Amino acid sequence: MCAPVPPCPSWLTAFRDNRALLHVNVYDGVSGTPACATGQSVHVRAFLDEEAVGEVDVPCLDTERLPPAVYRIEGPRVSPGMHELRVDVVTPRGIVQGKTLLSLPAFDIPSDEQAIIMGAEIAVGIGPDDLAIGPPQVYPPRAPGP
């Protein structure tokens, strides 16, 4: 007689029961440019499905910093599915806006195939006249190594 095998949770159950927190990681690409006057700041607001999820001020530095400084917006837990992420950047020169559709949360299946790791880390690079929204990731950004 064979030992009973415990049932594995379905994909649907895993996604429904383990909602991931949204984290928008804003990379400073405006410091040292005319869009970011020293002593001022750039205001960044994030919206998910037209609902405000958070904001952060990016201080204007005298020069560009390499690697760029990262500022984090902590958002809510996200339900699985397609979502629209919109980011507004208010600079002294005006508002820069970008939006994209994302499938959230992102997921990874480790080699043991026993667990699903989920996350909703979104990288947003802000520049003087534009911004770039990256794909959803499972893991937060890491500080560059030596």
Quick check: helix, strand or coil at residue 113? coil
For residue 111, pLDDT beyond 80: no
pLDDT digits (tens, 9 = 90+) for 130-141: 999 999 998 876
- Residue 100 main-chain phi, psi, to 5 deg: -155, 160
74 or 107: whose pLDDT is higher?
A: 74
Report pLDDT for 16: 66
The reply to whether CATH 1.10.3470 applies to domain 11-133 is no
Q: Give this prediction's pTM.
A: 0.82
Question: Can you tell me the distance from the alpha carbon of 33 to that of 71, in angstroms, rounded to the nearest whole number?
Answer: 18
Can you tell me the mean pLDDT for 90-112? 86
Q: Which helix (H) or strand (E) holds 25?
A: strand 20-28
Please say if the pLDDT value at position 146 is more than 50. no
Specify the pLDDT at position 46: 98
Q: Give the model's pLDDT for residue 87.
A: 98
Confidence at residue 110, expressed as pLDDT on a 0 to 100 scale: 73
Residues 112-133 have pLDDT tens digits of 666 677 889 999 999 988 999 9
**pLDDT of 2 strictly over 50:** no
Chain segment 36-49, per-residue pLDDT in tens: 888 889 999 999 99
pLDDT at 90: 92
Quick: pLDDT tens for 60-93. Answer: 888 888 889 999 999 999 988 899 999 999 987 8
Measured distance CA(115)–CA(78) in Å, rounded: 19
**Structure tokens belonging to residue 52:** 């405000």
